[in-house]
Structure 1
Amino acid sequence: MSEYYWDSTIEYLRNTRGLYYNDDYLEFLVQNVWKMNTPINIVDYGCGYGYLGLKLLPLLPEGSTYTGIDKGKDLIMEAREVFDKLPYSTEFIQGDIEDIFVERQYDVAICHAFLLHMASPREILQKMMDSVLDGGRVICFEPHWIANTANYGFDGIQHSEVVRLGILQKLYETSAKDSGKDGNIGMRLPILLSQLGLRNVECRVSDKVNFLDQNMDVAEKVRLFQSLREEGIGQELEDPVKVVEQMVQRGLSVEEAQAQYAAELKLFQVFNSDSWLTYAPNMKISYGTVGRECSDLE
């Protein structure tokens, strides 16, 4: 049995990725923003089961290739099994991205919800840049947790009762300072990409707003509710003493930790499949051009 945490989360990854993007928006990015109108070779850092490959390959010109790299043995096995049934040119490599060497042979390096888990994201970004040919791109789909938590809409309950933004902001920032792993990295990425030397750096925001609608199809409502729960909205909490202690260890005062626990408990109590909810994950999509030489790909 694998000891790598993300190998145990394949179902979670499958059930929550659909919350983030509308397919027509991804198509707009590929065709109108990035203008990927000739075959390209993509490398995906922290590919998981190949989610981005499944989304992007159908939108890319015939002849494009996709290489996924991930530390997870089970994730890579799952990706190979999925893509073996599809008509695309793919390769999957199991390895620790912090140690693995990737040759400079790709037109685009991408990642999705990956850099937030890295203690040294600058080093990973440099690896991504080093694997891309002159004039190619680095594209990062990463979260901005505080914007994410601000983007809930409830019926019959005030947002501030169940989401304590000030406390969460402190919690996220303290955790990032202590560990280097930053759940708000989505908003930092344009700065990091430019500081590392990429040109024409820009950032977009994911467009999808999920609506748990009591008038929607029942099966679709149940599926969406389950996905939102797995995303972390209104999850059941552990022992309050343990949770408060953990938050204090992460930098909150006892009073702040207790207030945060009370807010999370209330959300768990009021949020169910009969709730009305809007939720916009607000993923940030940052990208830039590798500028060792002049390029026609800008």
Structure 2
Amino acid sequence: MDEYYWDTRIEYLRNSRDLFYNDDYLEFLVKMVWKIEAPVHIVDFGCGYGYLGLKLLPLLPQGSTYTGLDLGNKLLAEARQLFARLPYEASFIQGDIQQLQLDRKYDLAVCHAFLLHVSNPLDILQKMIDCVTDGGKVAAFEPHWIGNAANFYLHGFEQSQHVQLGLLQKLYELDAARSGKDGNIGLKLPLYMSQLGLTEIQCRVSDKVNVLYPRMEQEEKHKLYDDLRKSGYADAPGDREIFIDQLIARGATPEEAGVQYDNELLLSQQFNSESLLTYAANMKITFGKVERS
């Protein structure tokens, strides 16, 4: 059996997550927006190594529990090791989320950067709803890739020198039409949740803007630079002919593909630890209430 892809990407997942949220904003979300004042039972769809549990449990009332669901054995082994050191009640279920059947016993169903990777996000949202008790919540932390791409600025260069927003939007839309996997799902989730009957729907945006500049504290600077590099934000595009052929296969014109190659090559060559850079992942946090009566 082929190795599960995300089991090979644990290091990427660790590095990229720190770019998405400020802890004080998550605390504001839990305590001031969701107003969770009693212990809750959380289930996390596509939990990976338990990232959302690690972030949310310290903010929730004592006695809250966490259940993580994922296909990846290595991811769940990492999660179990991390949570074994912590004072929280956590359990993990390995299996294909498309097939898993869950009891209706959770107060909060969550997912993080998961729905964009499935071809049937409404079906998965319905599964999340079905396992939540009346009055509970469903919350999805998902990206809007084109907004993400627009929020990356490297000082000394026009943004158009390292990203073609029009081309990327076209490619994202064509990819979604072919596979059903939609990197721009973040802004669509309020409508999907409405279609599935959730109420009190809101969509928030993470407030984190990463700022890299030469005079910042050295340890912080090197961590941010490493996180950006290891997350692939300035990867060299590799062989020009292969890169261009792959973009053409996705729907780019030869001219668009050539310009995109040059853009990515320039970014990979110019970005370094002394760069002045701002980047906001702009993650969308969409949630709604389950009411069956």
Normalised by the size of structure 1, how large is the TM-score? 0.96
**In structure 1, what is the equivalent of residue 270 of structure 2?**
270
User: Structure 2 stretches of 5 or more lacking a match?
Assistant: none
Cα contact 1:109–1:137 (8 A) shared by 2: yes
**In structure 2, what is the equivalent of residue 83 of structure 1?**
83
Deviation at 1:252, TM superposition (A): 1.2
Q: Matches of 2:112 and 2:5 in 1, distance apart? A: 17
Q: Map of 1:44-83 to 2, 5 A cutoff?
A: 44-83=44-83
**In structure 2, what is the equivalent of residue 183 of structure 1?**
183
Q: Matches of 2:167 and 2:254 in 1, distance apart? A: 12
**Deviations 1:194-228 (Å, cap 9, x if unpaired)?**
11110111100001000111101222211111111
**In structure 2, what is the equivalent of residue 239 of structure 1?**
239
**In structure 2, what is the equivalent of residue 292 of structure 1?**
292
Q: Matches of 1:126 and 1:8 in 2, distance apart? A: 29
Q: Map of 1:197-216 to 2, 5 A cutoff?
A: 197-216=197-216
Count the aligned residue pairs: 293
Q: Map of 1:93-112 to 2, 5 A cutoff?
A: 93-112=93-112
**In structure 2, what is the equivalent of residue 20 of structure 1?**
20
Query: How many percent of aligned residue pairs carry the same amino acid?
Result: 59
Cα contact 1:2–1:74 (8 A) shared by 2: no
Letter in 2 for 1:263: N
Letter in 2 for 1:27: E
Q: Matches of 1:173 and 1:261 in 2, distance apart? A: 20
Task: Tell me the secondary structure at the aligned position of residue 259 of structure 1.
Answer: helix
In the alignment, structure 1 residue 219 sits paired with structure 2 residue 222? no
**Deviations 1:70-114 (Å, cap 9, x if unpaired)?**
000000111111101111011100011011111111000000000
In the alignment, structure 1 residue 261 sits paired with structure 2 residue 261? yes
Task: Tell me the secondary structure at the aligned position of residue 123 of structure 1.
Answer: helix
Letter in 1 for 2:287: Y
- Assess, with a 3 A threshold, how the Cα gap between structure 1 residues 140 and 9 changes in structure 2: closer, same or farther: same
Q: Which runs of 4+ in 1 moved over 6 A?
A: none
Deviation at 1:160, TM superposition (A): 1.0
Q: Matches of 1:231 and 1:199 in 2, distance apart? A: 35
Normalised by the size of structure 2, how large is the TM-score? 0.98
Deviation at 1:255, TM superposition (A): 1.4
**Deviations 1:213-252 (Å, cap 9, x if unpaired)?**
1101222211111111222221122211111111111111
Letter in 2 for 1:288: G
